[in-house]
Amino acid sequence: MSETMKAAFFVEPGKMAVEEVPKARLEKDDDAVVRVVRACVCGSDLWYFRGLSGHPKHSQIGHESIGVVEEVGPEVTSVKPGDFVVLPFPYSCGKCPVCKAGFESVCPHGGYFGASQAEYVRVPEADGTVVKVPGSPEDYDDATLASLLSIADVMSTGYHAAVSAEVKPGDTAVVMGDGAVGLCGVLSAHMLGAKRIIAMSRHKDRAALAREFGATDIVAERDQAAIDKVLEMTGGYGADAVLECVGSKQSFDTAIGLIRRGGVIGRVGLPHDVEISAEGTFYGNIGIKGGPAPVRHYDLNGLLDAVVNHEINPGRVFTAEYDLDHIQDAYEAMDQRKVIKALIRF
Ligand SMILES: [Zn+2]
Ligand SMILES: [Zn+2]
């Protein structure tokens, strides 16, 4: 009899389910299987839940998790059963020129996890993918586990926005988006030394967390009013750096409107109907960088240590937790903005 596990399923927009399926298993020699300890719902999962983006009906879902290695294929050398790992949302070979340049998230031999809201996850290309955490989950308190989970995606993605926007000490940075990624973007801009951090938010709970993460100003206005406000705050010049953490046309147009000439927009929001004017950005010398965050690169080069040493607490973005059986509630709460980000505890 084959073993089974519980897994979340996207049934159709607005409807999740939990089903018993065959347990994740090794399929290739460089695979690992990880027993999930914490997973979560992503803002990008909501695009499917809301029916705004297509996703195969009745399919597994989820791409953010941390857990304990259950078994490894014969080619895996970097981890062994019992090791505690963060699973970055992209998997990657770890050895091609793209990975070596620090862009594992777009490794031509890699891909993205899509079944992490489950008791077990199959990890392809384990050596090039996992981020090993010292010790075991029992060595960490809940807050630290939540922060470790955040560096599987949102914190690393917010950090990628700040790095891509080339935030420098003394800068004025604007963060578009007050979801978990945007809030982590605020924290990241703060880590990189931005002096003034303007968070765009019209939700009290999110604005409060933005301030805790280092935001100096909150702007509730939108569109032209938001542009006018930031221009007014910057002597008419605009922000040195913009972290675009939404991906909508509205957000991007606003970012273009308030970036200083010669500034860079770091974009990590998945683009939906965004059009960028080649001419407009040309005459402003405006840089646009970013894409899927190379999570592993940032985790291994500072973020893991910063979390383990309690220098940052990005896990604060998780404002409610659920068990897998209540996955529907987790999605609904995020969809209705009752929680900033929903954690799934196993
Ligand atoms: Zn995500
Ligand atoms: Zn690669």
Q: What is the pLDDT of residues 207-251, one digit of tens each?
A: 999 999 999 999 999 999 999 999 999 999 999 999 999 999 999
Which residues lie across from 264 on neighbouring strands?
Answer: 241, 287
Strands, DSSP E only, in 279-337? 287-290, 318-323
- The interaxial angle of helices 180-191 and 204-213, nearest 10 deg, is 20
Query: How many whole angstroms from 89 Cα to the centroid of ligand 2?
Result: 14
Kindly compute the dihedral angle of the four CA atoms of residues 209, 254, 342, 33, in this order, to the nearest 10 degrees.
-120
Q: How much is the mean pLDDT over the chain? A: 97
Per DSSP, the three-state class of 30 is coil
Query: How many whole angstroms from 30 Cα to the centroid of ligand 2?
Result: 14
Query: How many whole angstroms from 62 Cα to the centroid of ligand 2?
Result: 22
Least distant ligand from the CA of 295: 1
- In this model, does residue 272 exceed pLDDT 90? no
Choose among 167, 230, 213: nearest CA to 193: 167
- In this model, does residue 26 exceed pLDDT 90? yes
Least distant ligand from the CA of 65: 1
Least distant ligand from the CA of 292: 1
- In this model, does residue 1 exceed pLDDT 70? no
Query: How many whole angstroms from 103 Cα to the centroid of ligand 2?
Result: 8
CA distance 88 to 111: 11
Q: What is the pLDDT of residues 34-56, one digit of tens each?
A: 999 999 999 999 999 999 888 99
Burial class of residue 155 (count of CB atoms within 10 Å of its CB; 0-12, 13-18, 19+): buried
CA distance 95 to 108: 11
Choose among 87, 91, 75: nearest CA to 117: 87
- Return residue ranges of the chain for CATH 3.40.50.720: 157-289
Reported as type and span, the H/E element at residue 70 is strand 65-72
Query: How many whole angstroms from 113 Cα to the centroid of ligand 2?
Result: 15
Place of tokens 């929903």: 342
Instruction: Provide the CATH topology of domain 157-289.
Output: Rossmann fold (3.40.50)
Query: How many whole angstroms from 46 Cα to the centroid of ligand 2?
Result: 28
- In this model, does residue 255 exceed pLDDT 90? yes
- The domain made up of 4-153+294-345 is a member of CATH 3.90.180.10: yes
Report every protein residue that has its C-beta within 5 angstroms of ion ligand 2: 92-93, 96, 99, 107
Write the CB contacts of 100 (distance below 8 Å, at least 6 apart in sequence). Answer: none
pTM over cut 0.95: yes
Query: How many whole angstroms from 322 Cα to the centroid of ligand 1?
Result: 17
- Return residue ranges of the chain for CATH 3.90.180.10: 4-153+294-345
Query: How many whole angstroms from 95 Cα to the centroid of ligand 1?
Result: 24
% pLDDT > 90, the chain = 94
- In this model, does residue 306 exceed pLDDT 90? yes
